[in-house]
Structure 1
Amino acid sequence: MSDIQRVAEQYIAVWNETDADKRRALIAEVFTEDAAYTDPLGAVTGHDGVDGFIAGAQAQFAGLTFSLPAAPDAHHDIARFQWYLGPEGTREPLAIGFDVITVEDGRIKQVLGFLDKMPG
C-alpha cells in the first residue's frame, strides 16, 4: 500500500470515528498541528478546528459512513480522491465529494474539499 493510500484511508477513518477521544487521537496522527481544512461549508485550521468541523458533520449525518470508492491519484506531496457518504454497504451514496490533500512528513497539511452531490 502506498503512503498516500494509507493517508487517505486514515483520513476517512477520522471522519468515521464517532468516539470524541479516539477521533482526537486519530486527528493528531493524521493531521499536522497547523492543518487547514476548507470546503464549501466552512474553513478551519488546527486540530481543534478539524475536530469541531467533523463532529458537526457527524451530528448532521448521524449513522452514515464515509468510504473511498477508488484509490487516490497522487504525485509529489499532493493527492486527490473521491469519497462517498451513505449507509454502510449502500450502492448509491447520499453524498459524494472530492478532496485534494497536501501531505507533509506523512501527515495531512491541507485539505481542499469539493461537494459533488449532497442530500436535500
Structure 2
Amino acid sequence: MSPEELWNRYSAIWSAPAERRGGELMACLADDATYCDPNGLVEGREALSGYMGGFQESAPGCTFRINSVAHHNGRSLSNWQMLGPDGSALQDGTSFGELSDDGRLRTITGFFFS
C-alpha cells in the first residue's frame, strides 16, 4: 500500500473496536513495531492495541484525520488532526515512522501540538 494509504489505515485503528484492531495492526505494523509519544514507549502490536483502547476510553468518539504525508528512503511523516465526536479539530500532531522492508510501519513516534 502507498504511504498515504498506510497512514490513513493506521490512523483509523485508533478508533476501531478491539475485535478489529488485531488484524489491522498486523496489516500496518511490522512484527517488531514500537510506538512512542510523550506518554511513553509501547513495544509490540498487542501492547499498542491496549494503548489504543485506553485512548478510546479517555477520548470517546474521537478520530484522526491525516492531512498530509511525506516519505522517502523508508521514512515517513504524517501530519494529522484529532477530531472530536462532532468533527471539530481538538489537536494537531505529527507522526514520524520508519518502514520495514515490506512497507509496514516499524517505528512510530507521535508529537502533539495544542
Settle same-fold status: TM greater than 0.5.
Answer: yes
RMSD, matched Cα: 1.5
**Counterpart in the other structure of 1:3:** 2
TM-score, normalised to structure 1's length? Answer: 0.86
Structure with a larger share of its residues in strand: 2
CA distance in 1, matches of 2:15, 2:29: 15
How far does the alpha carbon of each residue in 1:8-38 deviate from its partner, in whole angstroms, 9 at most, with x for none?
1111111121x11111111111111210100
The one of 23, 33, 48 equivalent to 1:25 is 23
CA distance in 2, matches of 1:13, 1:103: 18
Contact 2:81 2:90 in 1 (8 A): yes
Amino acid at match of 2:53: A
Runs of 4+ with >6 A deviation: none
CA distance in 1, matches of 2:84, 2:52: 17
**Counterpart in the other structure of 1:73:** 70
Q: In the alignment, does 2:94 pair up with 1:98?
A: yes
Count how many residue pairs are aligned between Structure 1 and Structure 2.
113
SS of match in other structure, 1:68: strand
Structure 1 spans left out of the alignment, 5+ residues: none
CA shift in 2, pair 1:89/1:67, >3 Å = farther
**Counterpart in the other structure of 1:49:** 47
Contact 2:80 2:92 in 1 (8 A): yes
Amino acid at match of 1:100: F
SS of match in other structure, 1:43: strand
How far does the alpha carbon of each residue in 1:42-91 deviate from its partner, in whole angstroms, 9 at most, with x for none?
2111111111111111111001111112x20111111111111122563x
